[in-house]
Amino acid sequence: MRPPWWRNACIYAIDVATFCDTNGDGWGDLAGVRSRLDYVAGLGANCVWLLPFYRTPYRDNGYDVSDYLSVDPRFGDLADFAELMAEADDLGIRVLVDLVVQHTSDRHPWFRQAVEDARSPYRDFYIWADTPDDTSVSPIFPGEEDSVWTLDERSGQYYRHVFYHHEPDLDHSNPKVRREIERVMEFWLRLGVAGFRVDAVPYMVEQAENGGDGSTDHYINDLSRLVRRHRSDGVLLAETDLAPKEYASYFGGPDGDGFHMQFNFYLNQYIFLSLARQSREPILRALDELPEVPIDTQYVNWLRNHDELDLGRLTDAERAEVNRAFAPDRSMLLYGRGPRRRLAPLLDGDERRVQLAYSVLMSLPGAPMVRYGDEIGMGDDMSLPDRLSVRAPMQWSPERNAGFSGAAADRLVRPVISDGPFGFERVNVLRQQTETGSLLDRVSGMVRTRRGLRQIGNGRRRALDLGRDSVLAFLYSDPGGGEQILMINNLADEEAVVSLPDGLLRGGGVDLFADAAYEKPAPGRASIRLNPYGYRWLRPLI
């Protein structure tokens, strides 16, 4: 039987607010996303993850939701969403939306009622304490919140919030909360979404367990079953930043009874340690530590997302090493976890290295995800506070406001990046669409080629020791015994000539994708060459 689509998917992450504004109010909107779906299809992605577009006070980039069942007027309305879904469907693109139910906004009617009347049925939707003495969780945003407890003056009780004080935590051990969450999921599934990216999962699950009404599995299984009841190809993609062994308990088995996909936060940190050290060892170490995915589930890998680069699972010395390499200024670091930088500036704008990073991403076991703007090498805006630095509007063209919006510049949701090497006049989609060899050209080539390599999503992987620490190489084989694929990456800024295992290229080989036109490996050839930061995706011939 054909493996499920997500085993070899390429996901494109879109922040609706900063992607494309069609009505000139300075905010990106759903109609804007729809108008650019051809671009996404052209890139080769077959799945889009839309960051939150629900009604929101917008104090946490939309992760503070005040109504799960409506579209915030700044982003459009449900009719726009339905049109977007229809067009995505026509283009064969599946749409995942965010399920942000670890907490609500403090403007959500549930919380309003809970604080206005301590006897309201919504009071128990949240977590209360007479004294804030439970310190088992600490604030996620140190420096912005001192505690996870805030006093509700009216009742004299404290409510818990692991994120911001304006994001009270829902009590997932309360069956009524779960029922409401199911309604939210059913609503969006009926509108055609292929599933959800589930926010802040471990906190939710822990709270569900705290209630003592069942195990982790139990809660996850319920959510997963609900998705499957609506569509057999539906998925849950979990935001799970965990110690390696813990990933196993969040995945489902062949019956699809857990999360179908999980973001591999663990591997993400080691990718950057490998890039910083120019050594394959950290990536291989992380892969060894991580549990293999059960059948019909998958890890999702990426380079950068919309938050700071979280290096929290590296040792202090390793984290310092990555920060030294990629964030020379202290102001570039956030929450003691890592750089608040986009991919291209983090790699010093060195396009060879950015391409190499993408090649590494595509070589890793899992489904790759690309965040909007990183495919053209967008920069960051360090003049903006905390994580806003990495959330500038998409740079479509050299025209006004980077082609993002027709509004006056002071009405934009966030300023466009206009100066320096990453300014929109230099870095934009239009320009790169017309330049062979541009980053956009290379990344879309990689995404399209990678999607055709089902061995990586579904096959068996073997890490090859090619005798140089800077050369990361994997051999993937089709489980059916078909073609093999060799993914080789040179993490170092110097040329590498490496020996291949005996017989691997006995019939010769072809480069499916590479940083340059290399000499074709002749039959029997035992060694091959890579440029500094070079990469070669080779198909051995028989």
Report, as residue numbers or ranges, the catalytic residues: 199, 239
DSSP E strand stretches across 305-379: 333-334, 338-339, 367-371
Judge whether 512 and 485 are in contact, CB under 8 Å.
Answer: yes
CB of 239 to ligand BGC, least distance (A): 5
CA dihedral 446, 454, 458, 499 (to 10 degrees): -70
Which residues touch 329 (CB under 8 Å, ≥6 apart)? Answer: 382
Nearest partner of 61 among 139, 166, 146, judged by Cα: 166
Task: State the amino acid at position 448 in one-letter form.
Answer: R
CB of 378 to ligand BGC, least distance (A): 18
**Rounded-to-integer distance, Cα 3 and Cα 71, Å:** 34
CB of 229 to ligand BGC, least distance (A): 26
Nearer to ligand BGC, 104 or 490 (CB): 104
Residue nearest to ligand BGC (CB): 63
3-class DSSP state for residue 475? strand
Burial label for 42, CB within 10 Å (0-12, 13-18, 19+), is middle
CB of 144 to ligand BGC, least distance (A): 11
Which residues touch 221 (CB under 8 Å, ≥6 apart)? Answer: 252, 257, 258
Nearer to ligand BGC, 170 or 475 (CB): 170
CB of 306 to ligand BGC, least distance (A): 6
CB of 265 to ligand BGC, least distance (A): 10
Encoded tokens for 136:
């088992």
**Rounded-to-integer distance, Cα 16 and Cα 55, Å:** 13
User: For the stretch 323-361, what's the b/e string if a residue is b when 16 or more beta carbons lie within 10 angstroms of its beta carbon?
Assistant: bebbbeeeebbbbebbbbbbbbbbbeeebbbbbbbbbbb
Name the site residues for ligand BGC (rule: CB under 6 A).
60-61, 63, 100, 163, 199-200, 239, 306-307
Nearer to ligand BGC, 13 or 354 (CB): 13
Nearer to ligand BGC, 61 or 274 (CB): 61
Which residues touch 494 (CB under 8 Å, ≥6 apart)? Answer: 470, 532
Nearer to ligand BGC, 307 or 318 (CB): 307
Nearer to ligand BGC, 144 or 255 (CB): 144
In DSSP terms, 333 is beta-bridged to 339
